Amino acid sequence: MNIAHVGFTVSDLDAAIAFFENHFGFVLHSRQLQDNPYTRATVGVPDAVIDNAILTADGAGGSELQLLEYRSPKDAGTFAPVQQPGATHLALAVEDIHQLYQRTEAAGLVFSSPPNLIDSGRNAGGYIAYAIGPDGLRVELFQPAPVPVPAQ
């Protein structure tokens, strides 16, 4: 078993696609309007009409990010606060969190804080920051600690 995709329901699909494309380099792989009986049965919403987008981090495959906007029934909604059970986030491993933070913050991206040094636990020596996207969607940026070079 493997993770095929992670999905988020958003209130404005175009804004969510732009968020991932412009700030993190995701590529739109496909988009379709789902207005059919099997979709309504699957999601358990009798009048569901869903605008469905699939994005990839590199444009070539691998794990996918699914963004869904329910055209019907329409709900403004927001993501649950970080401390609330059911809250979600997407973690992206990055090579240079400080450069990415500076570039995206200058472009107007909101963060809960600048990158923080992880000073304990299994990721000690790495850095982490949360970016806040449309509807309050949180994207964790994670830069792993440098891998020690073995002594010769």
Which one, of 62, 83, 66, 64, lies nearest residue 136 by Cα? 83
Top CATH class of 89-143 equals: alpha beta
Model pLDDT, residue 105: 97
Where exactly are the structural domains of the chain? 5-72, 89-143
CA atoms of 126 and 116, how far apart (whole Å): 8
With contact defined as beta carbons under 8 Å apart, do 90 and 141 qualify?
no
With contact defined as beta carbons under 8 Å apart, do 143 and 97 qualify?
yes
Q: Is 89-143 the same fold as 5-72?
A: yes
Tens of pLDDT along the chain (152 residues)? 888 899 999 999 999 999 999 999 999 999 999 999 999 999 999 999 999 999 998 766 678 999 999 999 998 878 998 999 989 999 999 999 999 999 999 999 999 999 999 999 999 999 999 999 999 999 999 999 988 777 77
With contact defined as beta carbons under 8 Å apart, do 90 and 65 qualify?
yes
Using the 8-state DSSP alphabet, how is residue 92 labeled? Answer: E
Model pLDDT, residue 58: 75
Model pLDDT, residue 1: 81
Model pLDDT, residue 4: 86
SS (HEC) of 25-86 = CCEEEEEEEECCHHHHHHHCCCCCEEEEEEEECCCCCCCEEEEEEEEECCCCCCCCCCCCCC
Using the 8-state DSSP alphabet, how is residue 110 labeled? Answer: E
Tokens representing 118 are 């992880």
pTM: 0.90
- Beta carbons within 10 angstroms of residue 60's beta carbon: 8
Model pLDDT, residue 15: 96
With contact defined as beta carbons under 8 Å apart, do 48 and 73 qualify?
yes
Options 3.30.930.10, 3.40.50.300, 1.10.3720.10, 3.10.180.10; which CATH number does 5-72 get? 3.10.180.10
